Amino acid sequence: MQLVMAMLSGLVFGLGLIVSGMTDPSKVIGFLDLGGKWDPSLAFVMGGAILVGIFAFRYAATRQQAILGGAMSPAPARSIDRRLVFGALVFGVGWGLAGYCPGPAVASLATGGSKPLIFTLAMLAGMGIFEIQDRYSRSSRDDD
């Protein structure tokens, strides 16, 4: 049942990205172009997501168990550090240059276009490089 719900949630999420225009890089870049022809329509998409999220997270905080019976564990509180800031900057620059972020890129793979495929492959390569680098730096710190 959890797999079915995960698949349905992913399908609804992907359809929402498509309907909202988040899978269209030119629309996303237009939203990010504050100094040129700014397209504010995606602000309504983000506002709607924040509004739904506020109620969903408040409801989840009152529960001891997930609706499908799984454990509810809150995300660990973490401080804002250099890695987080640098990662956010890299993510933002990539989003602004390509017009894709991970969710819309994966949803756009259904179009069969080469741009979302290239972006997704580059994203996966970057994730792999990060994992290798992170393991290396952890093992270097452990050796000290």
Dihedral of CA atoms 23, 97, 88, 48 in degrees, nearest 10, equals: -30
The residue written with tokens 């529960």 in the block is 63
Structure tokens given for 70: 């799984």
Tell me: the pLDDT tens digits for 7-32? 998 889 888 888 888 888 888 888 88
Closest to 18 in 3D by CA, of 85, 125, 84, 108: 108
**pLDDT-based confidence at 143, cuts 50/70/90?**
low
pLDDT tens by residue, 46-69: 899 899 999 998 998 888 888 888
Q: Which pLDDT score, from 0 to 100, does residue 39 have?
A: 87
If you write DSSP's letter for every residue of 62-125 in order, what string do you get? Answer: T-SB-TTS-B--PPPP----HHHHHHHHHHHHHHHHHS--HHHHHHHGGGT-HHHHHHHHHHHH
pTM tops 0.85, yes or no? no
SS3 (DSSP) at 36:
coil
The tens digit of pLDDT for each residue in 69-124 reads 878 777 777 788 888 899 889 888 888 888 888 888 888 888 888 999 999 999 99
